[in-house]
């Protein structure tokens, strides 16, 4: 009997001091994402809607961030799935997509557990580099910023806090 290989995935979670409505808004609206994720984005939270998080507005079009990424699935206030690409310095992987799933679970009226999983990884070379990059990016940057946003306040993009 063959044993199926385990699909590798980046996984992180954080409990935030926010209602499920506030947590949902943070991930599914441009106004919300700009408080913790990035200062510029385009988000249309419906299947096939855009999910573009723009990290470098001065870069050439196509290298500014998650341009061309889109929403795969939505279950309001519970789950958001979207495609994701790699940084421009990893062109082989950037030309392909992985999948990010954000799940929200109400802990109580004022706290929400946010879990994030990114899967769909190839193996070797740039794939391993991208996997390692996102192990750090989601768990040591994005999720801590989300927690900071609800504990302290929105990220000041001109004076970002040192986190992680």
What pLDDT digit, counting tens, does each position of 44-55 carry?
999 999 999 998
Is position 8 within any domain? no
pLDDT of residue 64 exceeding 90, the answer is no
Total number of domains in the chain:
1
Is position 122 within any domain? yes
Is position 85 within any domain? yes
Sequence-ordered strand ranges (E) for the chain: 10-16, 40-43, 51-54, 71-75, 79-84, 98-108, 111-119
Look up residue 128 and give its two tokens: 């391993």
Closest listed residue to residue 34, CA positions, set 154, 139, 160, 159: 154
- The pLDDT of residue 5 is 67
Domain of residue 86 covers 18-151
pLDDT of residue 4 exceeding 90, the answer is no
pLDDT of residue 36 exceeding 70, the answer is yes
| CATH number assigned to the domain comprising residue 133 | 3.30.530.20
Is position 6 within any domain? no
- The pLDDT of residue 1 is 65
From its phi and psi, is residue 94 left (phi > 0), alpha (psi between -120 and 50) or beta?
A: alpha
Query: Which residue(s) pair with 53 in the sheet?
Result: 41
- The pLDDT of residue 164 is 62
pLDDT band at 62 (very low <50, low <70, confident <90, very high): confident
pLDDT of residue 138 exceeding 70, the answer is yes
What pLDDT digit, counting tens, does each position of 74-127 carry?
999 999 999 999 999 999 999 999 999 999 999 999 999 999 999 999 999 999
């Amino acid at each position: 009997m063959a044993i199926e290989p385990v699909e590798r995935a980046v996984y992180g979670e954080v409990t935030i001091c926010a209602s499920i409505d506030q947590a949902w808004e943070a991930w599914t609206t441009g106004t919300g994402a700009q408080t913790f994720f990035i200062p510029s984005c385009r988000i249309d939270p419906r299947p096939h809607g855009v999910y573009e998080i723009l990290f470098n507005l001065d870069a050439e079009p196509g290298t500014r961030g998650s341009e061309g990424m889109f929403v795969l699935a939505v279950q309001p206030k519970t789950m958001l799935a979207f495609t994701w690409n790699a940084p421009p310095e990893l062109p082989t992987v950037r030309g392909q997509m992985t999948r990010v799933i954000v799940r929200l679970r109400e802990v109580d009226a004022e706290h929400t557990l946010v879990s994030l999983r990114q899967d769909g990884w190839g193996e070797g070379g740039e794939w391993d580099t991208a996997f390692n990059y996102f192990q750090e990016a989601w768990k040591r940057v994005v999720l801590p910023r989300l927690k900071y946003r609800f504990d302290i306040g929105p990220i000041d993009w001109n004076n970002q806090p040192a986190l992680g």
